Amino acid sequence: MLALGKLLELTLAGREPTEKIQLTSGGVRLHWLGEGALDVTPPATEDSGLDLLLSAGVHGNETAPIELLDRLVQAIARGQLKPRARILFLLGNPEAMRRGERFVEQDINRLFNGRHAESSGFEAMRAGELERYAAAFFSKPERARLHYDLHTAIRGSKIEQFALYPYVDGREHSRLELARLRAAGIDAVLLQSKTGITFSSYTYAHLDAEAFTLELGKARPFGSNQEVNLDRLEARLHSLIEGREPEFDDGNLDGLQLFSVSREIIKHSDSFQLHLAPDIENFSELPVGYLLAEDIAGTRWVVEEEGARIIFPNPRVRNGLRAGILIVPADV
């Protein structure tokens, strides 16, 4: 196997490879761009026209997606997986990965779309670096652009594998991409209603990519992901990479649950109280009239929506950040 196939090993060790560019026997070029960043380019005669950005480890303790990318990189370096797409592999927060922590100083996935310029520290610098890698990668004209930012969640979920679809005013969601997600084993998609500050929101809003945050199960340490079944996603990524994706009907989204954002619960102060059990699962339903949260100045969040569910409840976020999202069922 080519040495650059050990991207994860190099990243966890904090080492640079001796050779920054290597070629497989099939003429695929692997180019180490920097820590946790590997560019893969097929021979020009084999190029399918797809630019595929695959990122993981933006939260350092979400290891199942990191291990998935490691398997893909190693298969390419061994010549077992033969890319026809251009691919950029990004491991988002190497220092947090080495520590086995979600982040070290601050959550990188709240630092995109300009937020990193308003902050300081190495994680703010890394967010800017990730944006630059993505912008350079997606700079070639007249190519299909797709970004999957792979995560696992802090808590359990009643719908284990789901996606967040970013928002840009006036831009329609793609039924083709929704059908592709369903074929990859994604059971639900949250259609967001405002431009966000996550990595996938940046590539969707600024780089004209189809982009998604994929939540793929519960966060566990390296080597402990036997319960996270990524077989369907991995098979779909293999077919995308090799340019042999089977045809599917993008008019048929049977089995895919769609949700839209009703409200975000914003923590304003240290007095914030979230009235949910600490172990409540994502997509838990909440009854109308339920007092969900309270904060300073008599601020109260009471459930008014029929069929409301909660995702990403986290009262420990910093003041000013989102402490949960109320969602409701949506139509295509």
Give dist(CA 168, CA 25) in Å, integer: 42
The residue from 129, 210, 215, 281 that is catalytic is: 215
Residues sharing a CB contact under 8 Å with residue 185, sequence separation 6 or more, in sequence order: 161, 229, 230, 231, 232, 233, 236
Q: Nearest 5 degrees, angle CA 183-CA 186-CA 191?
A: 115
* Residue listed under structure tokens 């976020």: 317
The answer on whether 31 is annotated among ligand-binding residues is: no
Pairing verdict, β 29-34 and 37-41: antiparallel
The answer on whether 294 is annotated among ligand-binding residues is: no
Work out the angle between the directed axes of helices 231-242 and 63-77 (0-180°, nearest 10). 40
> Any catalytic annotation for residue 215?
yes
* Other C-beta atoms lying within 10 Å of the C-beta of residue 321: 15
* Other C-beta atoms lying within 10 Å of the C-beta of residue 171: 11
Give dist(CA 7, CA 22) in Å, integer: 13
Pairing verdict, β 21-23 and 29-34: antiparallel
DSSP string, 36-91: TEEEEE--GGG--SEEEEEEE-SSTT-HHHHHHHHHHHHHHHTTSS---SEEEEEE
The answer on whether 173 is annotated among ligand-binding residues is: no
Annotated binding site for Zn(2+): 59, 62, 151
Annotated binding site: 59, 62, 151
**Active site positions, annotated:** 215
